[in-house]
Amino acid sequence: MIRSKSNRRFQILAHTVLIIFSLYIILPFILLFLSSVTEENTLLRNGYSFFPAKLSLESYRYIFQNAPLIFRAYGITIIVTLIGTFINIFLSVMVAYPLSLKNFPFRRTITFYLFFTMLFNGGLVPTYLMYSNFFHIKNTLFALIVPSFLMSAMNVLLIRTYIANSIPEALFEAAQVDGALETRIFFQIVLPLSKPILVTMGLFSGLAYWNDWTNGLYYITDSKLYSIQNLLNKMITDIQVLTTDANIAAQAGSEIAKIPAVGIRMAIAVVAMLPVMVLFPFMQKYFQKGIALGAVKG
């Protein structure tokens, strides 16, 4: 009875702490959305509020005046995210599987090399020159896919740890006794049993591709190839120029005053992250399991 009361108190305390942390995570998103639908003058006068005095969709109306550009940018971002994530995970698991085998030659050397690349890189200028002058990816979709995220050393190490700790060696030995080659073992045993960690790493990689704007900033000058992050960032820059340049403001007159400069920033953030927020709940169960098992020290 005493133990039951103790467990109940612990559960109440744990749920209370989790609810508080959940509110800390959720409330900023709610405030962001409410700020994006708050009338501009109200937002400037009263600041950000969970209970805005006056609502307005002017920020979204301004954004979706450029609906064709936004839909094009969304399409490019979706294509880049899907292709980049698939290549990233496939290459990562192909490297991780042999490194998980204890009898694989030079296993420690290759693992150290992967870890070393997490600490040091060639720097921005040499990387830019290499991709622009030698690989000629500038103003192509490859510029949004190849740099930085083609294969992640962190993904390789986490997937390697998962395979080594979660898939019994006896399973590989039984498959080899039955005459299965490494290719068949990889596709019919390793990939299906690694689904939790692959989905988790895929989510990380997908988020990196979706939120990436630096590659577009460095390698993309053609506006037709802008990702959603680059397009929305350009909108913010254009609005800042319009509202701060005295000469432009004098020529445009009252039209500049109608631009909801503060609300648009909030609306742009909502537009950029909405697809990810919709997708994440469906991946959550794999995300939790993959993190728990992939992070176990092997």
Predicted confidence at residue 163, as pLDDT, reads: 85
Q: What is the mean pLDDT of the chain?
A: 78
- In which band, very low, low, confident or very high, does the pLDDT at 231 lie, cut at 50, 70 and 90? confident
Separation CA 139–CA 142 (nearest Å):
8
Region 56-79: what's the mean pLDDT?
81
Q: Which residues pair with 38 in a beta bridge?
A: 55
- In which band, very low, low, confident or very high, does the pLDDT at 242 lie, cut at 50, 70 and 90? low
* Range picked from 131-135, 246-250, 288-292 for highest mean pLDDT: 131-135
Look at residue 159 and tell me whether its pLDDT is greater than 50: yes
Among the residue ranges 126-135, 253-262, 288-297, the one predicted with the least confidence is: 288-297
Share of the chain above pLDDT 70, in %: 82
Predicted confidence at residue 261, as pLDDT, reads: 65
Q: Which residues pair with 250 in a beta bridge?
A: none
For residue range 160-184, what is the model confidence (pLDDT) as tens digits?
888 888 888 888 878 888 887 888 8
Predicted confidence at residue 248, as pLDDT, reads: 52
Given phi > 0 = left and psi -120 to 50 = alpha, else beta, which region is 167? Answer: beta
- Of all helices (H) and strands (E), which one includes residue 45? helix 40-46
Region 273-285: what's the mean pLDDT?
70
Predicted confidence at residue 204, as pLDDT, reads: 82
User: DSSP alpha helices (H): ranges in 100-168?
Assistant: 107-119, 124-129, 142-145, 153-166
Predicted confidence at residue 296, as pLDDT, reads: 46
Q: Which residue has the higher pLDDT, 295 or 215?
A: 215
Look at residue 289 and tell me whether its pLDDT is greater than 60: no
Predicted confidence at residue 119, as pLDDT, reads: 77
- In which band, very low, low, confident or very high, does the pLDDT at 245 lie, cut at 50, 70 and 90? low
For residue range 136-154, what is the model confidence (pLDDT) as tens digits?
888 888 888 888 766 678 8
Burial class, 293, CB count within 10 angstroms (exposed 0-12 / middle 13-18 / buried 19+): middle
Predicted confidence at residue 285, as pLDDT, reads: 63
- In which band, very low, low, confident or very high, does the pLDDT at 297 lie, cut at 50, 70 and 90? very low
Separation CA 217–CA 229 (nearest Å):
10
Predicted confidence at residue 298, as pLDDT, reads: 42
Look at residue 2 and tell me whether its pLDDT is greater than 70: no
- In which band, very low, low, confident or very high, does the pLDDT at 270 lie, cut at 50, 70 and 90? confident
Residue range 66-294 in CATH 1.10.3720.10: yes
User: DSSP alpha helices (H): ranges in 212-297?
Assistant: 214-219, 228-244, 246-252, 254-257, 261-294
